[in-house]
Amino acid sequence: MNQQDCYILGHIAKSVGFKGQVSAFIDATNPYEYSELESVFVEINKALVPFFIQSIDINDKGFAKIKFEGVDTEEDSKALLQKQLYLPLTVLPPLEGNHFYYHEVEGFKVFDKQKGLIGIVIKVLEVNNNPLLEIDANGKEVLIPLQDEFLLTVDRENQRLEVDCPDGLIDLYLNE
């Protein structure tokens, strides 16, 4: 499994007890959705290694006490501290309407209400919790804030985003 085919679920925060359990932070709106997990990938030496879950108990603060198969001592669990937990993108629940995962719109064409076709989404940048669409407009970079008032429609079937950018925003990038 490659990292680009996965998303970060959270990280292992600390060792719990002497029998190999860990406490992991689950970075999700509803961590309880992950209470039936059978396995996760753990990043070790830049590779994703599968770990099978014997038991998992999630609390109200987004932390999960996890017992992995083959991790049976405190020393074993300490070797996993601060490691990222990954899951395949294929297990993400599908989103509808104008809600989407950032990786989902890579390669989509972006059309502005006034300007027409702007270009192709390269990726979504996360800048100080303000996501930006990074668009390739015939070799020029265009950045559009991902705000609800700018995003009109997400057309998954035709891989198309329709936006209504403030006057002059696109011209800042294209008229350099």
Domain coverage including residue 86: 3-90
Tell me the backbone φ, ψ of residue 89, rounded to 5 degrees: -60, -30
| CATH at residue 27 | 2.40.30.60
Q: How confident is the model at residue 43 (pLDDT cuts 50, 70, 90)?
A: very high
Residues 145, 130 contacting (CB under 8 angstroms) = yes
Q: Look up the pTM and report it.
A: 0.68
Q: pLDDT for 72-99, tens place per residue?
A: 999 999 999 999 999 999 888 788 889 8
Residues 43, 84 contacting (CB under 8 angstroms) = yes
Please compute the mean of the pLDDT values over residues 108-130 and round it to a whole number.
Answer: 93
Letter for the amino acid at 17? G
Percent over 90 (pLDDT), the chain: 76
Tell whether 110 and 86 lie within a shared domain. no
Tell whether 109 and 162 lie within a shared domain. yes
Q: Which of 4, 16, 7, 3 is nearest to 59 (CA)?
A: 16
